[in-house]
Structure 1
């Protein structure tokens, strides 16, 4: 398991005194909003001009563009996907094996889990088998958890988000990714009790990029360990500037230094 912890540390470590900013390039996402289509070449061009901590992509993207990125850039390969036309839209199927992710240059693998619906059991079983295999190769598993389905009244409900973080801990996820609930006290408490680093994902109902940035800022202030930024939410004409803005939000406060005596 030492390899898993080393890779996780590399995935989340930064050299610019900030919490990690991981860009995700996936045409289909669970969290809704910002659904405009973007090209893979635009993502490659933007990432090559802006230093990142990590990149979250599908296996096909990693195989096609992996050599385009610096070898020092950790790649997280998403194993469970669906088209944006799937019914229901949040049902995810494992389409890439751990070994295929490794051959694509993965430093970690990722899965998506939708709770509160009839497909939850299937996705839980997928996580169990994938997690065991990934750990056997020393790969950390990033688990993104969302509340989706007919029984879910409010997917950003503070109790649901807190339960998602707790579930990620109970499942043994190495990194847990959840949307920000918008309730600082309960969100901060759930992060404190988590057994793994917690990253932000989702938009908390934000309809604009400014609203998204505000949600990220509030979630990080609650103690979240970093943020996964969907490439689709970056304004097309200001992608690099927008990434820099999010990076500045993730900046850690400067520690006060006492004068030498």
Structure 2
């Protein structure tokens, strides 16, 4: 029965028509505080939902403030990992939620953040294994945010990204979020080596709208099944239009050029 539950829930994350997804992480408040774009959570969640986001990622304590009983529906992914920017080692992530708590909150999926190559990699992998077991038991989809991060590690290196993505799949993730490697061909090798859907992270706020749309286009050409982009959406001048522009590429196979023309249209 748990497999049926997982199938029902994951259909709220992966679009039924395209099989892809536009996820907007908004879990930054724990690590960075109330930064621009996530001060008024209902307003921002409404903006990206109306733009066509498939799901948002938030921490358990924000769910009551971001729950939507109006407008366009959007999937709920409860983030289970945490650390703050004031920590001596921001790469260390601890579990701050359980799968059972997420179920009680009505989550469609849960997510965990794992830094491969960090000083606490072993502990983080053990926690990923524990969460994966609980997700299987309860029929809960698992999004694993897998990043190569640590001393001397290039977090965009193809081999490092491929290892991080594969590690997520090896330990039971249903969807893996990781960094884009900078080219279509290198990212094709990453997605080829990961048997579960891969979505790309947006990372820090980019200099231009064109940059983010071009990255999304290349990632999709490289085999990505969507995006998990936070600041480049919720800190955009118009989060609803930015979400729509990205969704055009992810779900409709539009070009970055066409998406940019839409974004800049009146």
TM-score range, shorter chain: 0.7 to 0.9
Distance 1:41 1:64, change over 3 A: closer
Cα distance in 1 for residues equivalent to 2:240 and 2:49: 10
Paired position in structure 2 for 1:238: 238
Deviations 1:154-187 (A, max 9, x none): 2111111111122122112111111110132232
State the partner residue of 2:125: 124
Counterpart position of 1:7: 9
TM-superposed deviation, 1:132: 0.7
Which TM-score applies when normalising by structure 1?
Answer: 0.84
Corresponding residue for residue 216 of structure 2: 216
Change (3 A) 1:14 1:70: farther
Contact 1:199 1:226 in 2 (8 A): yes
Cα RMSD (Å): 2.7
Aligned residues of 1:141 and 1:173 also touching (Cα < 8 A): yes
- SS of alignment partner, residue 220 of structure 2: helix
Question: Structure 1 residues 251, 98: CA separation in 2 closer, same or farther (over 3 Å shift)?
Answer: closer
Distance verdict in 2 for CA 1:41–1:65, change over 3 Å: closer
1:55 maps to 56
1:257 alignment counterpart: none
Range moving further from structure 2, 213-222 or 234-243: 234-243
Aligned to 1:259: none
Deviation at 1:47, TM superposition (A): 3.3
Higher deviation after alignment, 84-93 or 37-46: 37-46
Distance 1:252 1:150 in 2: 39
Give 1:90-239 correspondences, 5 Å limit.
90-152=91-153, 154-203=154-203, 206-231=206-231, 233-239=233-239
Distance 1:88 1:104, change over 3 A: same
Task: Report the count of equivalent residues.
Answer: 249
- Residue 229 of structure 2 aligns to a residue whose secondary structure is strand
Unpaired runs of 5+ in structure 1? Answer: 255-261
- Which of 1 and 2 has higher RCO (CA within 8 Å, sep 6+)? 1
Instruction: Spell out structure 1 runs of 4+ moving beyond 6 A.
Output: none
